[in-house]
Amino acid sequence: KEKATGTSYAKIIFFGEHSVVYGKPAVAIPLYSVDVSATLERTVIGQTIHCRYFDGPISQMNDNLQGVRVLIDRLLNLFEANELSFRLTIESKVPAERGMGSSAATAIALVRAFFNLFEKPLSRLELLTLADIEEKITHGNPSGLDAATASSEAPIWFIKNQVNEQIEFHRSNLCLVIADSGIKGKTSEAVSLVHNNLIDEPDMAMPLIDQLGQIATTARQALADSDQVTLGRLMSQSQTDLAKLGVSTKALDQFCQIAITYNALGAKLTGSGLGGCMIALAKNQRDAQIIATKLRQAGATQTWIQSFKNYEFT
Ligand code: PMV
The rounded Å distance from CA 86 to ligand 1 centre is 35
Ligand 1 atom 11: the closest Cα is on which residue?
Answer: 18
Q: Is 52 helix (H, G, I), strand (E, B) or coil?
A: coil
Domains assigned to the chain = 3-166 (3.30.230.10), 175-307 (3.30.70.890)
Mean pLDDT (10-residue bins), the chain, 314 residues:
96 95 94 94 96 93 91 97 96 90 96 98 94 90 87 89 72 83 88 95 97 96 89 98 97 98 98 95 95 98 82 43
pLDDT attached to residue 77: 97
User: Of all atoms in ligand 1, which is nearest to the CA of residue 13?
Assistant: 3
Our mutation pick for probing the ligand 1 site, out of 9, 11, 13, counting the most ligand atoms within 8 A of Cβ, is 13
Classify the phi-psi angles of 263: left when phi > 0, otherwise alpha if psi is within -120 to 50, otherwise beta. Answer: left
Distances (CA, A) of 228 to 88, 95, 157, 206, 232: 42, 28, 18, 28, 6
Please write the tens of the pLDDT for every residue from 144-187: 899 999 999 888 999 988 877 777 665 557 899 999 999 987 88
Contact by Cβ (8 Å): 27, 14: yes
Please write the tens of the pLDDT for every residue from 235-266: 999 999 999 999 999 999 999 999 999 999 99
Classify the phi-psi angles of 6: left when phi > 0, otherwise alpha if psi is within -120 to 50, otherwise beta. Answer: beta
Contact 187 CB / ligand 1 (< 6 Å):
yes
Ligand 1 atom 10: the closest Cα is on which residue?
Answer: 272
Our mutation pick for probing the ligand 1 site, out of 139, 181, 191, counting the most ligand atoms within 8 A of Cβ, is 191
Give the global pTM.
Answer: 0.90
pLDDT attached to residue 314: 34
Contact 274 CB / ligand 1 (< 6 Å):
no
User: Of all atoms in ligand 1, which is nearest to the CA of residue 247?
Assistant: 10
Contact by Cβ (8 Å): 7, 92: no
Contact 149 CB / ligand 1 (< 6 Å):
no
The rounded Å distance from CA 187 to ligand 1 centre is 6
Half-sphere exposure of 175 (CA within 13 A, CB side): 16
User: Of all atoms in ligand 1, which is nearest to the CA of residue 143?
Assistant: 13
Contact 271 CB / ligand 1 (< 6 Å):
yes
Instruction: Report the amino acid identity of residue 181.
Output: S
- Distance from C-alpha of 288 to C-alpha of 259, rounded to nearest angstrom: 9
Among 134, 51, 36, CA closest to 89? 51
pLDDT attached to residue 309: 55
Contact 135 CB / ligand 1 (< 6 Å):
no
Contact 213 CB / ligand 1 (< 6 Å):
no
pLDDT attached to residue 287: 96
Contact 122 CB / ligand 1 (< 6 Å):
no
pLDDT attached to residue 237: 98
Contact 241 CB / ligand 1 (< 6 Å):
no
The rounded Å distance from CA 17 to ligand 1 centre is 6
Contact by Cβ (8 Å): 24, 209: yes
How distant is the alpha carbon of residue 150 from its chain centre? Answer: 6
Contact 247 CB / ligand 1 (< 6 Å):
no
The rounded Å distance from CA 99 to ligand 1 centre is 7
Alpha helices in the chain (DSSP H): 66-78, 102-117, 124-139, 145-150, 187-200, 202-225, 228-245, 250-261, 285-297
ipTM above 0.85, yes or no: yes
